[in-house]
Chains A and B, each alone.
Chain A
Amino acid sequence: MIAKKDLEHIAWLSRLELSEEDMEKYTPRLNSVLDYFGELDEVDTEGVEPTYHVLPINNVFREDEINAPAKSLTQEEALSNAPKKQDGFFKAPRMM
């Protein structure tokens, strides 16, 4: 079961600011879902391999060329949706 302290930690990992009110609202709902997930404990998976992908997936390589196979975006296109930009760069918040 998730306690308030756990939820604070998960929210921090998730980069989601939660208010006190959110915490109170989410905790019982998250716990009821986790409680349901608990049914998997009864499945015997001894020796069963996990399936990450349903089809055999291999690495796909491309030529180390700017235009192959997908055309890259221009700098202007890449920045076209940026809320804050400066001198042709995305502007990030300060680190510290």
Chain B
Amino acid sequence: MATINELKERIHAGSSEEIVAEYLERIGGSKLNAFITVAKENARKCAKEIDSEGHDGSLAGIPVAIKDNISTKGILTTCASKILTGYVPPYDAHVIERLKDAGAVIIGKTNMDEFAMGTSTETSFYGPTRNPWDLDRVPGGSSGGSAAAVAGGEAPLALGSDTGGSVRCPASFCGVVGLKPTYGVISRYGLISYANSLEQIGPFATTVRDIAMLFDVIAGYDARDSTSVDKDVNYSSALKNDVSGLKIGVPEEYFGEGTDENVNKAVWNAIQKLEDLGATRIEVKMPHTKYALSAYYIIAMSEASSNLARFDGMRYGLRAEDSDWHSTFSQVRAAGFGDEVKRRILLGTYALSAGYHDKYYLKALKVRTLIKQDFELAFKDADVLIAPTMPYPAFRLGEKIDDPLSLYLADVDTVPINLAGVPSISVPCGFSHGLPIGMQVIGKHFDEATILRTAYTFEENTDFHTQQPEGL
């Protein structure tokens, strides 16, 4: 799989058009269903312009795949939902403006769980995406299309969004690198909201260096997102092959019952590897971890019930036959949303409704405080935390989709990070029966530099990231 620097050399010596054509050909012959929309004409035209006019941006001529909940001016954006049928955004998300400024070529919009609600990319109106390592297995979710595209060689870079693990989970299941930044580091302007206090856009790539290059382009202050934070950082310069003196906290709560034995083994081996390279290991306690799932789902569903109120068929998307106000909206929402989205809207509405607000929503927000405090305490001693990204490798298509609760439980190791708003990067750290395993390196607020350095050092001293799925 080509890295960005390799592609840049090829573009310099040849053309972006040639590279874009190669990726389009791979997508055309693919069995993965990683894309909802392939932006062929747009990609060819952009590549041609870069070639003829030249461009000094850091991603000039490089194809990037975009999760289909990120607004792209003039390119269909569906959130993998029937309700957004035919929606073409009249504006670009902040991250898309940044990518265009850097010369990147938008190659297409990737498949996802409907409105990013899922852990398997099976709830898409456009059918499931398949895992490049085993076509009978899920790629993880909700950004499964983006991860599968990168792992399957259909795009060198991709963007996803991570509300409760939606970048890290598919990165882990597909054997690529995925980063969820600190809340506020990347503008959410143009990201179609699911649970706005939890989610961040995040990059996918095959190496930590490529993640840092993409992250450098998309991070930064934007006045149009009121939660955007003004921090000027050069992430690529943080990449040093050195962890001497680094204190790694290992929270035993993340290695609990229900975690696959091979996953435990791979993550412990990785920690040992980093110790061999000069890091020290300390134990940390995060006693409220077991309550993170419930708190997360209550908050996410509550925010979703409010955020998804905008889909009424009046300004965009599907429209029902007009009757009265209430019935028209109720019918278009019934016809346009899938089962999982409906369930989350219903539960969120319930958790916010009179008589239940304090029991569910307010309680979850208080538990969120305790979870955030767990992290603050752990980071008093540790520079980074290391844990499994997912408790097991990719499961089979259809295995969990009929039991929502068992799917929610898969997010046990990823959701606490979103509740606390801290950054976390998932990197490949082993295999179990031919399926990739990911570990997450979690950092303090705004300390992406340290988790990138840790992940980079691990990558430089291991070869898990160089292995590729066969037979695609």
Contact = CB atoms under 8 A, between A and B. Distances in A.
Interface string B70-107: 00000000000000001110110000000000000000
A55 B422 CA distance: 10
Interface of A is mostly: loop
A82 B312 CA distance: 11
A39 B350 CA distance: 17
Given A43-B291, A80-B88, A53 B227 contact: yes
Given A70-B224, A80-B90, A93-B325, A50 B319 contact: no
Contact of A40 (B183, B291, B405, B408): B291
B329 interface: yes
Interface in B184-241: 184, 189, 197, 223-224, 226-227, 229
A86 B41 CA distance: 32
Interface stretch (B9-17, B266-274, B356-364): B356-364
A16 B327 CA distance: 9
Given A26-B342, A43-B291, A81-B86, A48 B349 contact: no
B79 to A, nearest CB: 14
B145 to A, nearest CB: 23
Interface string B348-371: 011001000000101111111110
Interface in A32-83: 32-34, 36-37, 39-41, 43, 45, 48-55, 57, 59-60, 62, 69-70, 73, 77-78, 80-83
Given A30-B347, A83-B313, A93-B325, A36 B369 contact: no
A13 interface: yes
B90 A78 contact: yes
Given A43-B291, A81-B316, A52 B88 contact: no
A33 B347 contact: yes
Interface string A1-27: 010001100111111111000100010
B330 interface: yes
A16 B405 contact: no
B346 A26 contact: yes
Interface residues of B, number: 71
B54 interface: no
Interface residues of A, number: 55
9 nearest A-B pairs in the assembled complex, by CB-CB distance: A54-B421, A50-B365, A83-B319, A81-B316, A93-B328, A45-B366, A77-B90, A17-B334, A17-B330
Given A49-B366, A50-B368, 8 more contacts: A17-B333, A40-B295, A41-B363, A43-B291, A45-B363, A53-B197, A59-B226, A96-B324
Interface of B: 86-88, 90-91, 183-184, 189, 197, 223-224, 226-227, 229, 288, 290-291, 293-295, 297-298, 305, 309, 312-319, 322-331, 333-334, 337, 342-343, 345-347, 349-350, 353, 360, 362-370, 372, 404-405, 408, 419-421, 445
Interface of A: 2, 6-7, 10-18, 22, 26, 29-30, 32-34, 36-37, 39-41, 43, 45, 48-55, 57, 59-60, 62, 69-70, 73, 77-78, 80-84, 90-96
